[in-house]
Amino acid sequence: MAFRPALFALAALMLIAPVSGGAIAQQPDALQRLLRGAQPTGDVQPRVPFGREEMQLSFAPLVKASAPAVVNVYVSQQAKPVQSPFAGDPFFEQFFGRRQQPRAQSSLGSGVMVDASGIIVTNYHVIKDADLVKVALSDGREFESKVILKEEEVDLAILKIEDKAGFPAIQLGDSDALEVGDLVLAIGNPFGVGQTTTSGIVSALARSHIGVSDFGFFIQTDAAINPGNSGGALINMRGEVVGINTAIYSRSGGSVGIGFAIPSNMVRAVVAAAKSGSDHFERPYIGASFEPVTAQIAEALGMARPSGALVANVAPDGPAQKAGLKPGDVVLALNGAEIEHVDALGYRLSTQPLNSTVRLDILRKGIEDEISVKLVRTPEGASATAVEIGGRNPFSGIKVSELSPRLAQRLRMPADVQGVAVIEVQRGSPAENYGFRPGDIVRAVNGEEIISSEQLQQATSQQTRWWRFTVQRGGQVFNQVLRY
């Protein structure tokens, strides 16, 4: 069984068939009232459809209003040239050449217009490494788009297209208002067959660790999401986008009724970052790290069940310390929303605006308390200039900078990590061919410890064919020796 990004989308409508009068009489009183359409006191509540008239109701008006804002995304890129096995041999290179010609690759996906000015949301994996991204509207118009923000961690990308006439757009809804069992529509371009609308229900909320990205708060739906539907819209019954379809759980690559979407509240935060002019999504800084509450920890703290997020560390002079948060505290809720798991806290914090104040319900030594924390920008630390490495060496094509808490957050690294990190790798460069990635930390070159970007630039300017270097990636350290 595997999780697969859904580069295309679908869904299946599930309705409850009419129930005869005799069948209704056998049900419990509460269910009888629900089936007959009787409403509890107070606001109107959802109920099961019944009768011929209700079974003939249609989603057509909802689709007609929403579908024009769902677009097809066409991506093309040049495949990496393949190195000849005879490269470096003058005799064989006469006959076989140095490398094969690059080949064009293309892929399809979907997107959602969330602003009439031409702002489109899609998945990061749809446009990753793209040389050209085109957008086709349902009315047949096509546009070349500009990628204005990419965020791999949450698998979202923001595109921009231009037209004086403007574009149809869909409003982003409140994904926190969703409940399991709510009807939803999935609109996208499955398998490249053209725009398709299907329906289903919300199967579960707050799904995490599905293996698509580091984001851990997905909406699960039985809408049949298929390849090509990535980046498409998950619509509620008010015609609002409540999610961006992203992945499926499948053995064969086709839908088996388990699909995942990124909640619209997360999408709204990323769109706001793009509108502000940022090329990446910056999370608010709380100045603390958190861990899951295991069954053993819950028992030791006298909790009835494992829930919440355990405070592991608090940064000196950070917002959390100033608010009085301490290691060993358990965060139970944020602004009244219950925190079931540490991933839920990360999601709730990510959707909050910079410089906002949040209310945390905490458990400390068996006593519940409430504190307010102001969320700020991640500290920049000592100013560091990005340096591009060129020349004849295996590092040629990378851009590096000294790590700060803000840069570490952008590279999805712990805030306290120090060193000179790779922040960009030029496509087709020697550095890419040797496997360098953003987030790699260069620790040493030819026996010299690297502590600054300028020092790395100087070390790579050596006139030598032999290179020894040490690179840290995640929790692993790699020592490499090669002749370049």
* Contact residues for 150 (Cβ-Cβ < 8 A; gap 6+): 124, 127, 128, 157, 158, 279, 280
Provide the pLDDT for residue 178: 92
Q: In this predicted structure, what is the pLDDT of residue 79? A: 61
The per-residue pLDDT for 23 is 38
**How many CB atoms lie under 10 A from the CB of residue 363?**
20
Residue 94 to residue 338: CA distance in whole angstroms: 68
User: Is 155 marked active-site?
Assistant: yes
Burial classification of residue 436, based on how many CB atoms lie within 10 Å of its CB (0-12 exposed, 13-18 middle, 19 or more buried):
buried
Count the Cβ atoms, other than its own, within 10 Å of residue 96: 14
**Active-site entry in 115, 155, 222, 361:** 155
CATH of domain 288-374: 2.30.42.10
User: How far separated are the first and last CA of the chain, in Å rounded?
Assistant: 42
pLDDT at 374: 95
> How many Cβ atoms sit within 10 Å of the Cβ of residue 170?
23
295 vs 293: CA distance, rounded Å: 7
Domain 387-483 homologous superfamily, CATH: PDZ domain (2.30.42.10)
Q: Domain spanning 1-15+46-282 has what CATH number? A: 2.40.10.120
> In sequence order, which ranges of 89-176 are alpha helices (DSSP H)?
90-96, 124-127
Write down the catalytic residue from 66, 107, 230, 396: 230
Which residues of the chain fall short of a pLDDT of 50?
A: 1, 7-28, 30-32, 34-35, 37-42, 84-86, 89, 91-92, 94-96, 211-214
Cα(433)–Cα(445) distance, integer angstroms: 18
For 278, list phi and psi in degrees, rounded to 5: -80, 145
Residue 174 bears catalytic tag: no
Check residue 252 and give left, alpha or beta (phi > 0: left; psi -120 to 50: alpha).
alpha
CA separation for the pair 112, 119 (Å, rounded): 8
Task: Give the HSE-up count for residue 420: Cα atoms under 13 Å, Cβ half-sphere.
Answer: 25
Report the largest interatomic distance among the alpha carbons of the chain, rounded to a whole angstrom. Answer: 91
- Domains in the chain: boundaries: 1-15+46-282, 288-374, 387-483
Amino acid identity of residue 474, one-letter, is G
User: Per the residue annotation, which of 66, 115, 125, 222 is the catalytic one?
Assistant: 125
Angle subtended at Cα 279 by Cα 111 and Cα 435, rounded to the nearest 5 degrees: 90
Domains 288-374 and 387-483 in one fold: yes
115 as an active site residue: the answer is no
Q: Give the pLDDT of residue 25.
A: 39
Task: Specify whether the CB–CB gap between 223 and 4 falls below 8 A.
Answer: no
Give the pLDDT confidence score for residue 334 in this predicted structure. 95
Give the separation between CA 405 and CA 324, rounded to whole angstroms: 21
Q: State how far the Cα of 119 lies from the Cα of 158, in Å rounded to an integer.
A: 7
Give the C-alpha distances (Å, rounded to integers) separating 383 from 380, 386, 404, 407, 477. 7, 10, 8, 11, 26
